Amino acid sequence: MSPATSRRRAVRPRSISETLLKLFDLFEPKDRVLINIDADPDSLASAMALKRLLWHKVQSVTIAHFNDIKRFDNVTMVRLLKIPLERLQKINRRDFSKTVLVDGQPHHHEAFGDFNYDAIIDHHPITTAVEAAFVDIRPHYGATATILTEYLRSARIRPSKGLATALLYAIRVDTHNFEAGASEEDVKAFRYLFPYANMNLLRKIEMSDMGVRDLKYFQLALENKRVVKGKIFTHLDHVHSADILVLVADFFMRCHEVAWTVVSGICQKHLVIVIRNDGFRKNAGSAAIKAFGRLGSAGGHRAMARAEISLANLNDYFKKGNSSNLGRFVIRQFQKSQQI
Protein backbone atom coordinates (compact mmCIF):
# COMPACT_ATOMS: atom_id res chain seq x y z
CA MET A 1 0.00 0.00 0.00
CA SER A 2 1.31 3.44 -0.92
CA PRO A 3 1.44 6.31 1.60
CA ALA A 4 -1.18 8.10 -0.49
CA THR A 5 -3.52 5.13 -0.22
CA SER A 6 -2.82 4.98 3.50
CA ARG A 7 -3.74 8.64 3.87
CA ARG A 8 -7.03 8.05 2.09
CA ARG A 9 -7.83 5.18 4.40
CA ALA A 10 -6.93 7.25 7.43
CA VAL A 11 -9.55 9.91 6.66
CA ARG A 12 -12.31 9.57 9.22
CA PRO A 13 -15.93 8.97 8.18
CA ARG A 14 -18.43 11.82 8.16
CA SER A 15 -19.54 11.36 11.77
CA ILE A 16 -18.02 10.19 15.04
CA SER A 17 -20.90 7.75 15.51
CA GLU A 18 -20.12 6.12 12.15
CA THR A 19 -16.46 5.86 13.14
CA LEU A 20 -17.35 4.28 16.46
CA LEU A 21 -19.64 1.72 14.83
CA LYS A 22 -16.84 0.72 12.45
CA LEU A 23 -14.56 0.25 15.45
CA PHE A 24 -17.08 -1.82 17.40
CA ASP A 25 -17.73 -4.01 14.35
CA LEU A 26 -14.17 -5.32 14.66
CA PHE A 27 -14.79 -7.04 17.97
CA GLU A 28 -16.72 -10.05 19.19
CA PRO A 29 -17.62 -11.06 22.77
CA LYS A 30 -15.01 -13.85 22.76
CA ASP A 31 -12.12 -11.53 21.79
CA ARG A 32 -9.10 -11.03 24.03
CA VAL A 33 -7.77 -7.60 23.05
CA LEU A 34 -4.20 -6.33 23.36
CA ILE A 35 -3.60 -2.54 23.33
CA ASN A 36 0.01 -1.59 22.58
CA ILE A 37 1.41 1.74 23.76
CA ASP A 38 4.60 3.70 24.24
CA ALA A 39 3.62 4.74 27.75
CA ASP A 40 3.16 8.49 28.18
CA PRO A 41 0.15 10.52 29.39
CA ASP A 42 -1.61 10.55 26.01
CA SER A 43 -1.18 6.85 25.26
CA LEU A 44 -2.04 5.81 28.84
CA ALA A 45 -5.24 7.88 28.88
CA SER A 46 -6.25 6.79 25.38
CA ALA A 47 -5.73 3.12 26.23
CA MET A 48 -7.81 3.55 29.40
CA ALA A 49 -10.62 5.10 27.37
CA LEU A 50 -10.53 2.35 24.74
CA LYS A 51 -10.65 -0.28 27.47
CA ARG A 52 -13.74 1.43 28.90
CA LEU A 53 -15.37 1.52 25.46
CA LEU A 54 -14.82 -2.22 25.03
CA TRP A 55 -16.14 -3.09 28.49
CA HIS A 56 -18.80 -5.83 28.18
CA LYS A 57 -18.11 -6.03 24.43
CA VAL A 58 -15.08 -8.36 24.60
CA GLN A 59 -13.77 -11.02 26.94
CA SER A 60 -10.74 -9.06 28.16
CA VAL A 61 -8.52 -6.04 27.42
CA THR A 62 -4.80 -5.86 28.29
CA ILE A 63 -2.72 -2.67 28.02
CA ALA A 64 0.96 -3.37 27.29
CA HIS A 65 3.88 -0.94 27.07
CA PHE A 66 7.40 -1.59 25.75
CA ASN A 67 9.19 1.37 27.37
CA ASP A 68 10.41 1.89 30.93
CA ILE A 69 8.15 4.29 32.82
CA LYS A 70 10.61 6.60 34.57
CA ARG A 71 9.21 10.12 34.40
CA PHE A 72 7.76 10.95 37.78
CA ASP A 73 4.53 12.39 36.39
CA ASN A 74 3.95 9.18 34.43
CA VAL A 75 4.79 7.01 37.43
CA THR A 76 2.43 9.08 39.60
CA MET A 77 -0.30 8.92 36.95
CA VAL A 78 -0.12 5.12 36.79
CA ARG A 79 -0.03 4.80 40.58
CA LEU A 80 -2.79 7.25 41.53
CA LEU A 81 -5.16 6.25 38.74
CA LYS A 82 -4.41 2.54 39.27
CA ILE A 83 -3.82 1.87 35.58
CA PRO A 84 -3.29 -1.88 35.01
CA LEU A 85 -0.29 -2.44 32.73
CA GLU A 86 1.79 -5.30 31.35
CA ARG A 87 5.25 -5.23 29.77
CA LEU A 88 4.98 -5.87 26.06
CA GLN A 89 8.16 -7.92 26.12
CA LYS A 90 6.57 -10.41 28.51
CA ILE A 91 3.23 -11.01 26.83
CA ASN A 92 2.47 -13.93 24.53
CA ARG A 93 0.78 -12.51 21.45
CA ARG A 94 -0.92 -15.86 20.83
CA ASP A 95 -3.01 -15.19 23.94
CA PHE A 96 -4.82 -12.39 22.08
CA SER A 97 -7.25 -12.46 19.18
CA LYS A 98 -7.20 -8.73 18.40
CA THR A 99 -4.43 -6.10 18.64
CA VAL A 100 -4.83 -2.31 18.72
CA LEU A 101 -2.21 0.45 18.62
CA VAL A 102 -3.08 3.82 20.17
CA ASP A 103 -1.11 7.07 20.07
CA GLY A 104 1.45 5.62 17.71
CA GLN A 105 2.04 3.96 14.35
CA PRO A 106 3.85 0.68 13.57
CA HIS A 107 6.96 2.40 12.20
CA HIS A 108 7.39 4.60 15.29
CA HIS A 109 9.27 1.85 17.14
CA GLU A 110 10.58 -1.58 16.27
CA ALA A 111 8.57 -3.05 19.16
CA PHE A 112 5.37 -1.94 17.40
CA GLY A 113 6.43 -3.29 14.03
CA ASP A 114 6.31 -6.91 15.19
CA PHE A 115 2.49 -6.95 15.27
CA ASN A 116 -0.32 -7.03 12.75
CA TYR A 117 -2.91 -4.52 13.93
CA ASP A 118 -6.66 -4.68 13.68
CA ALA A 119 -7.03 -1.02 14.63
CA ILE A 120 -4.74 2.02 14.81
CA ILE A 121 -5.83 5.27 16.50
CA ASP A 122 -3.40 8.16 16.53
CA HIS A 123 -2.82 11.89 16.02
CA HIS A 124 0.75 11.94 14.65
CA PRO A 125 1.47 12.77 10.99
CA ILE A 126 1.41 9.88 8.52
CA THR A 127 4.87 9.50 7.03
CA THR A 128 4.82 5.78 6.19
CA ALA A 129 2.06 3.48 4.95
CA VAL A 130 -0.34 2.48 7.75
CA GLU A 131 -2.38 -0.68 7.26
CA ALA A 132 -5.16 -2.06 9.47
CA ALA A 133 -8.83 -2.93 9.20
CA PHE A 134 -9.65 0.23 11.14
CA VAL A 135 -7.48 3.37 10.89
CA ASP A 136 -8.38 6.66 12.55
CA ILE A 137 -5.42 9.04 12.37
CA ARG A 138 -6.01 12.77 12.77
CA PRO A 139 -2.77 14.76 12.55
CA HIS A 140 -4.56 18.07 13.08
CA TYR A 141 -5.60 16.98 16.59
CA GLY A 142 -3.30 17.88 19.46
CA ALA A 143 -3.83 14.59 21.32
CA THR A 144 -5.09 11.07 20.72
CA ALA A 145 -7.00 11.51 23.99
CA THR A 146 -9.25 13.99 22.18
CA ILE A 147 -10.22 11.32 19.64
CA LEU A 148 -11.06 8.86 22.42
CA THR A 149 -13.05 11.51 24.28
CA GLU A 150 -15.16 11.97 21.16
CA TYR A 151 -15.70 8.20 21.05
CA LEU A 152 -16.88 8.22 24.67
CA ARG A 153 -19.29 11.07 24.04
CA SER A 154 -20.67 9.34 20.94
CA ALA A 155 -21.16 6.15 22.95
CA ARG A 156 -22.88 8.21 25.67
CA ILE A 157 -20.42 6.96 28.26
CA ARG A 158 -19.74 9.43 31.05
CA PRO A 159 -16.09 9.01 32.07
CA SER A 160 -15.23 8.14 35.66
CA LYS A 161 -13.23 10.68 37.66
CA GLY A 162 -10.05 8.70 37.08
CA LEU A 163 -10.57 8.38 33.34
CA ALA A 164 -11.60 12.03 32.94
CA THR A 165 -8.53 13.12 34.90
CA ALA A 166 -6.24 11.00 32.71
CA LEU A 167 -7.76 12.32 29.47
CA LEU A 168 -7.70 15.92 30.67
CA TYR A 169 -4.06 15.65 31.69
CA ALA A 170 -3.13 13.99 28.39
CA ILE A 171 -4.66 16.81 26.36
CA ARG A 172 -2.87 19.43 28.45
CA VAL A 173 0.48 17.68 28.09
CA ASP A 174 0.33 16.98 24.36
CA THR A 175 -0.89 20.48 23.50
CA HIS A 176 1.56 22.08 25.96
CA ASN A 177 -1.37 23.72 27.74
CA PHE A 178 -2.86 24.68 24.35
CA GLU A 179 0.24 26.62 23.36
CA ALA A 180 1.34 24.24 20.56
CA GLY A 181 -0.61 22.15 18.07
CA ALA A 182 -4.01 22.45 19.73
CA SER A 183 -7.20 22.27 17.67
CA GLU A 184 -10.76 23.37 18.29
CA GLU A 185 -11.60 19.71 18.96
CA ASP A 186 -9.01 19.59 21.74
CA VAL A 187 -10.59 22.61 23.41
CA LYS A 188 -14.06 21.06 23.15
CA ALA A 189 -12.83 17.78 24.64
CA PHE A 190 -11.11 19.63 27.50
CA ARG A 191 -14.26 21.60 28.32
CA TYR A 192 -16.34 18.41 28.28
CA LEU A 193 -13.95 16.52 30.58
CA PHE A 194 -13.29 19.32 33.07
CA PRO A 195 -16.43 18.87 35.25
CA TYR A 196 -15.75 15.14 35.64
CA ALA A 197 -12.03 15.31 36.50
CA ASN A 198 -10.50 15.24 39.98
CA MET A 199 -8.49 18.47 40.27
CA ASN A 200 -6.59 17.28 43.35
CA LEU A 201 -5.34 14.20 41.49
CA LEU A 202 -4.54 16.32 38.45
CA ARG A 203 -2.42 18.76 40.47
CA LYS A 204 -0.56 15.90 42.15
CA ILE A 205 0.28 14.32 38.79
CA GLU A 206 1.34 17.64 37.29
CA MET A 207 3.56 18.52 40.24
CA SER A 208 5.39 15.18 40.26
CA ASP A 209 8.30 16.37 38.12
CA MET A 210 11.31 15.10 40.05
CA GLY A 211 12.74 13.23 42.99
CA VAL A 212 14.90 14.55 45.81
CA ARG A 213 18.05 13.32 44.06
CA ASP A 214 17.33 15.63 41.13
CA LEU A 215 17.69 18.81 43.20
CA LYS A 216 21.47 18.62 42.81
CA TYR A 217 21.10 19.36 39.10
CA PHE A 218 19.47 22.70 39.84
CA GLN A 219 22.40 23.62 42.07
CA LEU A 220 24.82 22.61 39.29
CA ALA A 221 22.78 24.54 36.72
CA LEU A 222 22.97 27.70 38.83
CA GLU A 223 26.70 27.28 39.40
CA ASN A 224 27.39 26.73 35.68
CA LYS A 225 24.99 29.28 34.24
CA ARG A 226 26.17 31.95 31.84
CA VAL A 227 23.94 34.87 30.90
CA VAL A 228 24.51 36.45 27.48
CA LYS A 229 22.17 39.23 26.29
CA GLY A 230 18.93 37.74 27.58
CA LYS A 231 20.01 34.13 27.06
CA ILE A 232 20.87 31.70 29.85
CA PHE A 233 23.21 28.83 29.00
CA THR A 234 24.13 26.04 31.38
CA HIS A 235 25.73 22.61 31.03
CA LEU A 236 24.95 19.80 33.50
CA ASP A 237 27.55 17.21 32.52
CA HIS A 238 26.09 13.68 32.97
CA VAL A 239 22.37 13.31 33.76
CA HIS A 240 20.40 10.11 34.32
CA SER A 241 17.50 11.42 32.24
CA ALA A 242 17.13 14.13 29.61
CA ASP A 243 13.93 15.16 31.40
CA ILE A 244 16.14 16.95 33.93
CA LEU A 245 17.30 19.30 31.19
CA VAL A 246 13.68 20.16 30.38
CA LEU A 247 12.91 20.96 34.01
CA VAL A 248 15.94 23.24 34.32
CA ALA A 249 15.22 24.99 31.02
CA ASP A 250 11.61 25.67 32.03
CA PHE A 251 12.78 26.85 35.46
CA PHE A 252 15.15 29.43 33.99
CA MET A 253 12.40 30.74 31.68
CA ARG A 254 10.65 32.05 34.80
CA CYS A 255 13.21 34.86 35.01
CA HIS A 256 11.53 37.92 33.46
CA GLU A 257 14.76 39.16 31.86
CA VAL A 258 15.30 35.88 30.02
CA ALA A 259 14.21 35.40 26.39
CA TRP A 260 16.09 32.13 25.71
CA THR A 261 17.32 29.21 27.81
CA VAL A 262 19.72 26.60 26.42
CA VAL A 263 20.43 23.68 28.75
CA SER A 264 22.74 20.82 27.78
CA GLY A 265 23.93 17.57 29.30
CA ILE A 266 25.25 14.11 28.49
CA CYS A 267 22.74 11.26 28.53
CA GLN A 268 23.41 7.74 27.22
CA LYS A 269 26.46 8.74 25.14
CA HIS A 270 24.64 11.66 23.57
CA LEU A 271 24.90 15.39 24.04
CA VAL A 272 21.31 16.57 24.55
CA ILE A 273 20.41 20.24 24.19
CA VAL A 274 17.03 21.57 25.31
CA ILE A 275 16.01 25.02 24.07
CA ARG A 276 13.21 27.27 25.28
CA ASN A 277 12.19 30.84 24.46
CA ASP A 278 9.39 33.29 25.22
CA GLY A 279 7.69 32.60 21.88
CA PHE A 280 7.76 36.20 20.70
CA ARG A 281 9.19 36.52 17.16
CA LYS A 282 11.49 33.55 17.76
CA ASN A 283 11.70 29.98 16.50
CA ALA A 284 13.41 27.47 18.76
CA GLY A 285 13.01 24.62 16.27
CA SER A 286 14.71 26.56 13.50
CA ALA A 287 17.48 27.64 15.87
CA ALA A 288 18.12 24.05 16.95
CA ILE A 289 18.38 22.88 13.35
CA LYS A 290 20.73 25.71 12.35
CA ALA A 291 22.97 25.20 15.38
CA PHE A 292 23.08 21.43 15.69
CA GLY A 293 21.19 19.79 12.81
CA ARG A 294 24.25 18.88 10.76
CA LEU A 295 25.74 16.96 13.70
CA GLY A 296 22.70 15.03 14.89
CA SER A 297 18.91 15.21 15.19
CA ALA A 298 17.32 18.58 15.92
CA GLY A 299 13.96 20.28 15.69
CA GLY A 300 10.89 21.41 17.58
CA HIS A 301 8.28 24.13 17.84
CA ARG A 302 8.59 27.93 17.93
CA ALA A 303 8.96 28.12 21.72
CA MET A 304 10.61 24.78 22.48
CA ALA A 305 13.11 22.51 20.76
CA ARG A 306 15.66 19.78 21.31
CA ALA A 307 18.80 18.41 19.72
CA GLU A 308 20.67 15.15 20.28
CA ILE A 309 24.20 14.51 19.06
CA SER A 310 26.18 11.31 19.48
CA LEU A 311 29.41 11.99 21.39
CA ALA A 312 31.18 10.07 18.63
CA ASN A 313 30.32 12.96 16.29
CA LEU A 314 31.95 15.50 18.59
CA ASN A 315 35.54 14.26 18.81
CA ASP A 316 36.69 17.29 16.83
CA TYR A 317 35.05 19.70 19.23
CA PHE A 318 36.27 18.57 22.63
CA LYS A 319 38.73 16.27 24.35
CA LYS A 320 37.30 13.13 25.90
CA GLY A 321 36.76 13.52 29.61
CA ASN A 322 36.57 17.33 29.45
CA SER A 323 32.85 17.95 29.61
CA SER A 324 33.19 21.69 30.22
CA ASN A 325 34.28 22.07 26.60
CA LEU A 326 30.86 20.74 25.57
CA GLY A 327 29.17 23.61 27.38
CA ARG A 328 31.34 26.13 25.53
CA PHE A 329 30.66 24.29 22.27
CA VAL A 330 26.89 24.62 22.77
CA ILE A 331 27.14 28.35 23.46
CA ARG A 332 29.37 28.92 20.43
CA GLN A 333 27.16 26.94 18.06
CA PHE A 334 23.95 28.53 19.29
CA GLN A 335 25.29 32.07 19.16
CA LYS A 336 26.61 31.46 15.66
CA SER A 337 23.17 30.19 14.54
CA GLN A 338 21.55 33.42 15.76
CA GLN A 339 23.74 35.42 13.39
CA ILE A 340 22.78 33.42 10.29
In the chain, % helix, strand, coil (3-state, to 5) comes to 45, 20, 40
Residue 73, pLDDT score: 87
Whole-number CA gyration radius for the chain: 22
The model's pLDDT over 84-120, given as tens digits with 9 standing for 90+, comes to 999 999 999 999 999 999 999 998 888 888 899 999 9
Range from 10-19, 64-73, 256-265 that averages highest in pLDDT: 256-265
Domain boundary among 173, 207, 241: 207
- The mean pLDDT value for 277-296 works out to 89
Pairing of strands 297-300, 304-310: antiparallel
pLDDT at 338: 83
Q: Are residues 89 and 44 in the same domain?
A: yes
Q: Where does the pLDDT of residue 71 fall: very low under 50, low under 70, confident under 90, or very high at 90 and above?
A: confident
User: Which of 21, 82, 81 minimizes the C-alpha distance to 53?
Assistant: 21
CB atoms within 10 A of CB 64: 21
Q: Please indicate, yes or no, whether residues 160 and 125 belong to a single structural domain of this protein.
A: yes
Which residues touch 139 (CB under 8 Å, ≥6 apart)? 123, 124, 125, 126
Considering the chain, what is the average pLDDT of its residues?
Answer: 89
CA–CA distance, 24 with 58 (Å, rounded to integer): 10
**In terms of domains, do 100 and 232 share one?**
no
Burial class (CB in 10 A: 0-12, 13-18, 19+), 74: buried
Domain count, the chain: 2
User: Are both 193 and 233 inside the same structural domain?
Assistant: no
Does the pLDDT value for residue 11 go beyond 70?
no
Confidence of residue 335 (pLDDT cuts 50, 70, 90): very high
Q: How confident is the model at residue 300 (pLDDT cuts 50, 70, 90)?
A: confident
- Choose the weakest-confidence range: 66-75, 79-88, 222-231: 66-75
Same domain, 146 and 203: yes
At 226 the three-state DSSP class reads strand
Between the CA of residue 73 and those of 77, 137, 237, what are the distances in Å? 6, 26, 24
Residue 44's pLDDT is what?
98
Residues 98 and 197 in one domain: yes
User: CA-CA distance, 327 to 51, in Å (whole number)?
Assistant: 46
At residue 268, the pLDDT reads 86
Same structural domain, 190 and 256: no
The residue among 143, 177, 207 that closes a domain is 207
**φ, ψ (nearest 5 deg) of residue 21:** -65, -40
Buried b (16+ CB within 10 A) or exposed e, 253-270: beeeebbbbbbbbbbeeb
Q: Which residues constitute the domain of residue 202?
A: 3-207
Q: Is the pLDDT of residue 192 over 80?
A: yes
pLDDT, residue 320, reads 58
Q: Phi first, then psi: give them for residue 145, nearest 5 degrees.
A: -60, -30
The confidence score (pLDDT) of residue 340 equals 55
Please tell me the least confidently modeled range out of 57-66, 171-180, 265-274: 171-180
Please report which confidence band the pLDDT of residue 7 belongs to, taking 50, 70 and 90 as the band edges: very low
Residues 132, 255: one domain?
Answer: no
CATH number of the domain at 232, please. 3.10.310.30
The reply to whether 26 and 158 lie within a common domain is yes
Q: 256 and 180, same structural domain?
A: no
pLDDT of residue 319: 63
Cα-based distances in Å from 191 to 163, 185, 194, 234: 15, 10, 5, 39
pTM of the model: 0.69
| 68 and 144 housed in the same domain | yes
